Amino acid sequence: MDYIIAGLGNPGDRYTFTRHNAGFLTIDYLAQFFNTKVDKIKFKGLVGSFEYAGKKVLLLKPMTYMNASGESIKEAVNFYKIKPEKLIVIYDDIAFDVGIVKMRKKGSDGGHNGVKSIIQCLGTEEFPRIRIGIGIPKYDMVKYVLSEFEDGEKEKIFRAIEKASNGIKILLESDIDRAMNYINGDMVV
C-alpha cells in the first residue's frame, strides 16, 4: 500500500448520517468514486482498496467507535509499514460551518476524540488530515455531533464530501501541496 485513507465515524445504522460520521460518508463516496467496496473486515475496521495513478490505496473505516479510532488505524499503519505522511485522516470539525473543508499536513487533535486516539496510538501528530465542517454546536455538543444534518445542510455536506474526494484524487495524481491548494483555496479541478 502507498496510502491509507481513513475516515472517522461510529459504526451502526443509527449513526450513518450523523454529523460525527462525515469521515465515514467521505470514505463511502471515495469507494463509489474509485469503484470499490469497503466491506472486508480487517484491522478492527472495514476496508477496501483500489489503484489509481500508479498508487495502491487502502480505504479504512474503523469500527472501534470514534474514541478508539487509533487502535484500528495503528494496526493498518503497522501492517503496511506506512509512514505517517502517507496516512490521510478525514473527520468532522465543529470549528467550521457546515460544508467548509480544510486540509493540513499535521497538527494537534483540536479537541476531537478520534484524532486524539490516533495521535496517542501512533505517537505522532505528523499525519495529514482533511477536516469537514459540521457547524458550530447550537446545544449540547455530544447530542449535536450525533444529530443528523438538517435538510438545508445536506447539499452543503455533499459538496464538502465531493471537494474532499477531489482533493484525494489530486493528491494521488500529484502531491499533498497541490491537494491542499485545491481544498484550502479556490483552485478548480
On whether the CB atoms of residues 161 and 153 are closer than 8 A, the answer is: no
Each residue's pLDDT tens digit, 9-22: 999 999 999 999 99
Bridge partners, residue 50, by sequence = 57
Above 70 in pLDDT, residue 182? yes
- pLDDT mean across residues, the chain: 95
Bridge partners, residue 93, by sequence = 133
Bridge partners, residue 101, by sequence = 132
Grid look-up 455530544 returns 142
From 3, 6, 20, 64, the catalytic residue: 20
Grid cell in block for residue 121? 496510538
112 assigned to active site: no
Each residue's pLDDT tens digit, 71-89: 999 999 999 999 999 999 9
Grid cell in block for residue 181? 491548494
pTM score: 0.95
Residue 67 is labelled as binding a ligand: yes
Residue 65 is labelled as binding a ligand: yes
pLDDT band at 186 (very low <50, low <70, confident <90, very high): low
Span 3-184 CATH architecture: 3-Layer(aba) Sandwich (3.40)
Residue ranges of the domains in the chain? 3-184
> Within a 10 A sphere around the Cβ of 89, how many other Cβ atoms?
23
What is the model's pLDDT at position 189?
52
